[in-house]
Amino acid sequence: MDGGVDHSEQACKEVDAGMTRVFQLLGKRWTGLVVSVLLQRAVHFVELRRAIPGISERMLSDRLTELGAAGLVVREVDEGPPLRVAYRLTEAGRALEPALKELGRWAEQYLPDGGQCPKNLRG
């Protein structure tokens, strides 16, 4: 019994547009981690890179550019000397906090062993 679920070809083609946009942006590698660091406070580029082990300068720059284009991050230049660039979340970026915290809680409960769902939850 399928519980009244529509398995037609049309239903399978219809993916929620909002979820599609969210995962096109936040589903990219490193993006969620960048946002999670920026939720704490505005951070200079070097500090941000240190906070995310394994991310390259190029990748971090790309992700910050994408987040900026989406209106989630603002780049602020401190003329110095020395010249320093900091990044902070916009109001829209900060609004992601409840969702990201909920995902973190979900991961603690369902992905406790480094990414694998417990056997009893694998369906």
- For residue range 51-106, list pLDDT tens digits in order: 999 999 999 999 999 999 999 999 999 887 888 899 999 999 999 999 999 998 99
- Contacts of residue 110, defined as CB under 8 A and 6 or more positions apart, other chains included, come to 117, 118, 121
Do the domain assignments include residue 23? no
Residue 47: which domain range?
31-121
Distance separating alpha carbons of residues 84 and 43, to the nearest angstrom: 10
* Digit-coded pLDDT (tens) for 44-53: 999 999 999 9
The CATH number linked to 97 is 1.10.10.10
pLDDT for 2 equals 55
**What are phi and psi for residue 85, nearest 5 degrees?**
-115, 130
Local structure of 80: helix, strand or coil: coil
Domain count, the chain: 1
pLDDT for 116 equals 55
Do the domain assignments include residue 67? yes
Do the domain assignments include residue 21? no
Do the domain assignments include residue 6? no
